[in-house]
Chain A
Amino acid sequence: DAKTTQPNSMESNEEEPVHLPCNHSTISGTDYIHWYRQLPSQGPEYVIHGLTSNVNNRMASLAIAEDRKSSTLILHRATLRDAAVYYCILRDNTNAGKSTFGDGTTLTVKP
């Protein structure tokens, strides 16, 4: 399985943008890049996913490098409620979601 690498932790100030990086140098052509986050005492929740093009939704934006070997999750204005562990994982349609979540990036948001 293709692996992802994320920093263990990042800090941000409230109301500032946050860029969470993810490296996936062994990504295959059929892998989708998914981001999830896990708030304290909750199960992970879906944030966004993409294949090749940048994606936007109400929660965040996903910027995908042209060679697809890295991606960045962008929170445009961090709030205290965005403090969570953020996971970047790769999925394709043949593995039925078997990819394992790593340790992710713990985002701390300071008021």
Chain B
Amino acid sequence: DVKVTQSSRYLVKRTGEKVFLECVQDMDHENMFWYRQDPGLGLRLIYFSYDVKMKEKGDIPEGYSVSREKKERFSLILESASTNQTSMYLCASSLRLAGIYEQYFGPGTRLTVT
């Protein structure tokens, strides 16, 4: 069974803290993605990575950075958390050819910044 796991289901952080969200996939996928999901805005792509140490900005990268040191792990970093980053964060992975292959999603991390 394919699996994408995220380090936490729920997280509460204070404004200004540095926050790490971890994602691990066990399918040897090249592509990994971070999205955030907000009511009325759908899922919006923050960053994606198509290979180790490679990354590209998605639609809303401001306030976020990412790290991919190993193929199976993709981390999302909030350098200085703010209340407008309170959201559901979803990680996904896929094989390289995004048109042909499906994405597999993790269960999500609900982050609250107070």
Contacts and interface: CB of A to CB of B under 8 A. Distances in A.
Contact of B99 (A30, A46, A87): A30
A101 to B, nearest CB: 4
Contacts of A45: 105
Given A36-B103, A42-B107, A96-B98, 4 more contacts: A43-B107, A43-B108, A93-B97, A101-B42
A30 B100 CA distance: 10
B99 A92 contact: yes
A100 B56 contact: no
A49 interface: yes
Given A49-B102, A95-B98, A96-B56, A42 B48 contact: no
Nearest to A34: B102
Q: Chain A interface: which size bin?
A: 20 to 34
Interface string B96-114: 1111101111111000000
A102 interface: yes
A100 B45 contact: yes
B20 to A, nearest CB: 19
A82 B53 CA distance: 38
Q: Closest 7 interchain pairs by CB?
A: A43-B105, A46-B102, A97-B98, A101-B43, A93-B99, A32-B99, A92-B99
Interface string A68-110: 0000000000000000000100011101111011111000000
A31 B100 CA distance: 10
B64 interface: no
B103 A97 contact: yes
Interface in B63-114: 90, 92, 94, 96-100, 102-108
Given A103-B40, A104-B42, A97 B31 contact: yes
B50 A32 contact: no
A30 B33 CA distance: 22
Contact of A43 (B31, B48, B106): B106
A100 B42 contact: yes
A44 B90 contact: yes
B44 A100 contact: yes
Contacts of B45: 98, 100
